[in-house]
Structure 1
Amino acid sequence: MTAETENDTERLRELITRARVVLWDFDGPICRLFAGHSAERVAAELVEWLEGRGLHGLLHESERGTADPHVVLRAVDLRHPDSDLVAELEERLTHEELRAVPLAMPTPFADPLIRTWTGVGARLAIATNNSPRVVRSYLEDRHLLDCFRPHIYGRSQDLQYLKPNPRSLHRALNAMGAAPSSALFIGDAPTDCQAAHTAGVPFLGYARNGRKEKLLQDAGATVIVGSLQPVLEILWSAPRPGAD
């Protein structure tokens, strides 16, 4: 369900006001990383690079036609875990993500929401399947890095820990000394919802269109917003974390 009815708004308000630690996915809730640098083209170029090395048969047909570069990366890691091939492919993806940063589109209301949450005393962290180098580059460009530093937990070459594995969430919570119940995770993908559920962290889904909303609903998300504006408005009217 979306946070449109009075009951849904109250559920959203409860999620926000209880959170002392806010964990964010990156690509989606904070920005559209590939808004100006097509993810589909990046995925196709990774496939072409593999085929140029004589590895056409390494991917299934659906994997060769994917619009998601992470699908290609996961597929190769599944068949050649901990290999130099995976390491080189991951570095190529990181390079393309870095190229996408200057053209990334900020998610509406994300910047003021981040600054407001920081200003009222909440602690923020990133838990993402993107490269932490990419996250830091984007946040620095937006003058938001200090809101998260040093708590940025992203993709490494050990790809078994990509979400839905909850490791990035666990790392953030452990580093901040926070209980899962005191946190909130904001994400836009089913893997985000699954990771939050496994980690025991309350989840807020962000869906910029109906397709993403349906995917989140199917993954078990019960509070979903189509805009971060109501989150910001609730935060403006809420007491500071820890206040009586």
Structure 2
Amino acid sequence: MPSNELARAMALPGLLFDFDGPVCDVFAGLPAPQVAHELKELVASCLPSARVDVEATDDPLVVMSVAYKAGPQLGAEIERALMAAEVAAVAVAGDPTPGAVQSLREARAVGRRVAVVSNNSAECVHAFLERQAIGHYVDHIVGRPSGQPDLMKPEPFSLHKAADLLGLQVSECAMIGDSLTDIQAAHAAGTIVVGYANKPRKRQAFVEAGADCIVDGMDEIASALRP
């Protein structure tokens, strides 16, 4: 039996799924540090003085964000390269997260409105959903705002946009995410948030961050949605 909080979350008319984690392990086949290294090399070739600012990170999204701080043209160049890398990554990412397809299928079966809300590009989300033949379970995709990395989660912008596209108030939606930025964005937006603790250390972090409920597997989401 799902917890009362999980049952309450799954009873809401709108479900917002983070992508990297709950649906797909984006960089399973093309590791994020490798992508970050390639982006850092591009930063150095475009603007050598900016290399020192990105050298310490292995996170491609951080490289992109720092590039935008160095200048909009450099940021746009790095974002284009990141989008191409993300699309390439999901092509070799393997199967969806265990329980993800079942969760999306059950959500559709019981009439929930579903959006994927991601800091990854909408293009890579679409490519993966189509490759896996599960795009028909998703009503809308809200990827990172192009050219505006400051609006990525933990900012609530994408959650508000997703709710609008679903024709719902954001308070009528539940967010399902596997990172602290998902928890923070949901709190800022005013949505119930389900923390997906796909690594043992995440559970306590989600408790401390104030997740409304926590699951260890996406199959728990599917079970909670079944009538």
Equivalent position to 2:135, from 142, 145, 148: 145
Cα distance in structure 2, aligned partners of 1:181 and 1:54: 43
* Residue 57 of structure 1: how far off its partner (Å): 4.2
Name the stretch that deviates more: 22-31 or 153-162.
153-162
Matched residue of 1:14: which SS?
A: helix
Cα distance in structure 2, aligned partners of 1:135 and 1:57: 29
Structure 1 residue aligned with 2:87: 98
* Residue 56 of structure 1: how far off its partner (Å): 4.7
Q: Which amino acid aligns with 1:91?
A: R
* Residue 13 of structure 1: how far off its partner (Å): 1.8
Structure 2 residue aligned with 1:71: 62
Contact 1:59 1:75 in 2 (8 A): no
Structural RMSD (CA): 1.8
Equivalent position to 2:30, from 27, 30, 37: 37
Q: Give the structure-1-normalised TM-score.
A: 0.86
Cα distance in structure 2, aligned partners of 1:89 and 1:78: 12
Cα offsets for 1:153-212 (capped at 9, x unmatched): 112122221111111111111122212222111111111111111110110011211233
* Residue 59 of structure 1: how far off its partner (Å): 3.9
Equivalent position to 2:10, from 10, 16, 25: 16
Distance 1:40 1:213, change over 3 A: farther
Structure 1 residue aligned with 2:161: 171
* Residue 54 of structure 1: how far off its partner (Å): 4.4
Equivalent position to 2:186, from 176, 196, 203: 196
Q: Give the structure-2-normalised TM-score.
A: 0.92
Structure 1, unaligned runs of 5 or more: 1-5, 239-244
Give percent identity, aligned residues only: 36
